[in-house]
Amino acid sequence: MVKGFDNKKYVKIQSEHIRKRFKLFDKLYLEVGGKLFDDNHAARVLPGFKPDSKINMFKELKDDMEIIFCINANDIEKNKTRAEYGITYDTEVLRLIDNLKKQKFKINSVVITLYNNQASVDKFIKKLTAYNIKTYIHTFTKGYPTDVDTIVSEEGYGANPYIETTKPLVLVNAPGPGSGKLATCLSQLYHEHKRGINAGYAKFETFPVWNLPLKHPVNIAYEAATADLKDVNMIDPFHLAEYGKTAINYNRDIELFPVLKTILYRITGKVIYNSPTDMGVNMVGNCITNNEIVEEAAKKEIVRRYFNEMASAKIGQIDPEVPQRIKVLMNEIGIDENYLEVVKPALDKKEKENRQVVAIKLPNKKVITGKESELLSAVSAMFINSIKELAHIPDNINLLPPNLIEPILKNRSNGSNEPLKLSEILIALSICSVTNPTIDKALSCVKKLENTDAHSTYILPNDELKALKALNINVTCEPKFYSEDTFIY
């Protein structure tokens, strides 16, 4: 992979910058947006950024920090799900805690926000207690968001229990947006200052990048990624007025800032920040080493988001307006669906063969296609053709001849006669590689498929998507069912 981002520099200067910020206070509550682990969006738009960069950066600060997790009680009750993992928010909190404990991070507690005696939430609290995880309950903050006198009082933040913390840096994280991170930070600031502790607040989010242009593809890619939330990047007017400098933020932070500034002043007795950008500690924009590479990667990510949301709208998971918002962003920067070089070859092959097709662009720049047959799904055919190409194995050599595939089809436990899917092909190839050096040679090239782009002519089923994701292949799909007559996908 050609890199446009210096990850080593990022880990170093980001941890140093956060350390400088928390040394301004007795204690700093740092609201962390986005993902601590597996930040694949950042890795895709900033080639060279490692998905676990954030957590590796926080390892530099581990001795001085502890972590609080927030989760909205309504999200627990509604079984809100992290789409990329297919797990609920409450399960995601437990997963994050488990991963962090394995890496020796100190977990302080979980805060249940907007609690209203929900039975499912009580059950989750019992589970946390069984795991020896402290739990705090926050209800709706009286007076929020406009009645500052009530908010900053014993009726408002004072009604929340005080969370005992001991480290100078307290990370406040959550499984997703709307979990109550900011309210938890401000509630803690209220309690800390009542106790005479000079506590501060700051925010750490990777996107939008404050020191990149408003219409830079990396910032546009953030808008595409949050199209369902209707986030819009904006020039920070408070920063421009105070310093005469252009900085980028997004609408929710800018709209909230006047109230937040007043609340912080009421709690601390001083003006800490003059703009939403002042609150941030993000240094990612300082670590881009090749803007051309980064711009291209971000544009590709925008198109991927468009296809993904088009498919989600087709199956009724989201409002059709969401992908249309992304289409407007694509028009703004002058790109279309064919910016992904695998789209047209897939569609052309399907039209020629009248079969479902998946196309992939390999690291050698060659586009390989695979078409569905009676024995292989389009994904499986694409995969086999790709590893043969990478291993320089001639076309006339079958890695899995029909006499090996047919018994697998016949002996399926569910009796299905569908073509073999990628997960099944991977198992079959792995078994055969023990005695077949040609297959072993082909499988040795699988790693080269990481971070490649692939495109399907129909909406792939979840098991095929999951298998491609496990191989770190960036796949997009035409917003069409496998069969328009039966709505199968």
C-alpha 453/C-alpha 457 separation (Å) is: 14
Q: What share of the chain is helix, strand, coil (3-state, %, to 5)?
A: 45, 15, 40
Domain boundaries, given as residue ranges, for the chain = 7-287, 340-477
C-alpha 205/C-alpha 302 separation (Å) is: 19
Partners of residue 5 on adjacent β-strands: 288
Name every residue whose Cβ is closer than 8 Å to that of residue 74 and which is 6 or more positions away in sequence: 114, 118
Name the maximum alpha-carbon separation found in the chain. 79
123 burial level (CB within 10 Å; 0-12, 13-18, 19+): exposed
Written as six digits, the tokens of 413 are: 């436990």
| pLDDT tens-digit series, residues 355-382 | 999 999 999 999 999 999 998 999 999 9
324 burial level (CB within 10 Å; 0-12, 13-18, 19+): middle
pLDDT tens, residue order, the chain (489 aa): 789 999 999 999 999 999 999 999 999 999 999 888 889 999 999 999 999 999 999 999 999 999 999 999 999 999 988 866 778 999 999 999 999 999 999 999 999 999 999 999 999 999 999 999 999 999 999 999 889 999 999 999 999 999 999 999 999 999 999 999 999 999 999 999 999 999 999 999 999 999 999 999 999 999 999 999 899 999 999 999 999 999 999 999 999 999 999 999 999 999 999 999 999 999 999 999 999 999 999 999 999 999 999 999 999 989 999 999 999 999 999 999 999 999 999 999 999 999 999 999 999 999 999 999 998 999 999 999 999 999 999 999 999 888 777 777 776 656 667 899 999 999 999 999 999 999 999 999 999 999 999 999 999 999 999 999 999 999 999 999 988 665 555
C-alpha 202/C-alpha 25 separation (Å) is: 11
Written as six digits, the tokens of 19 are: 């350390």
List the end-to-end C-alpha distance of the chain, in Å, as a whole number.
32
Find where tokens 């881009």 sit.
Answer: 288
Written as six digits, the tokens of 326 are: 């992304």
C-alpha 222/C-alpha 183 separation (Å) is: 24
C-alpha 271/C-alpha 265 separation (Å) is: 6
- What does each C-alpha distance from 333 to 226, 297, 306 come to in angstroms? 17, 13, 14
DSSP 418: P
| CB crowding 138-162: b at 16 or more within 10 Å, else e | beebebbeeebeebbbeebbeebee
Nearest to 100 by CA among 43, 40, 20, 32: 32
Q: Which fold has domain 340-477?
A: Cytidine Deaminase; domain 2 (3.40.140)
- What does each C-alpha distance from 371 to 18, 392, 442 come to in angstroms? 51, 20, 19
Q: Which CATH superfamily is domain 7-287 in?
A: dip2346 domain like (3.10.630.10)
Q: Which helix (H) or strand (E) holds 123?
A: helix 119-130
Name every residue whose Cβ is closer than 8 Å to that of residue 53 and which is 6 or more positions away in sequence: 7, 10, 11, 39, 42
C-alpha 335/C-alpha 242 separation (Å) is: 36
pLDDT at 86: 75
CA angle 305, 309, 312 (to 5 degrees): 145
Contact 161, 190 (CB under 8 A): no
CA dihedral 434, 439, 440, 444 (to 10 degrees): -150
Is the preceding omega at residue 145 within 30 degrees of 0, hence cis? yes
Nearest to 45 by CA among 207, 257, 247, 155: 207
pLDDT at 219: 98
C-alpha 47/C-alpha 214 separation (Å) is: 20
Render 311-375 in DSSP notation, one character per residue. Answer: HHHHTTSS-THHHHHHHHHHHHTT--GGGSTTHHHHHHHHHHHSS-EEEEE-TTS-EEEEE--SS
Written as six digits, the tokens of 299 are: 């544009």
402 burial level (CB within 10 Å; 0-12, 13-18, 19+): exposed
Partners of residue 213 on adjacent β-strands: none
Written as six digits, the tokens of 236 are: 């920070």
Written as six digits, the tokens of 17 are: 């910058």
pTM recorded for the entire structure: 0.93
Contact 58, 36 (CB under 8 A): yes
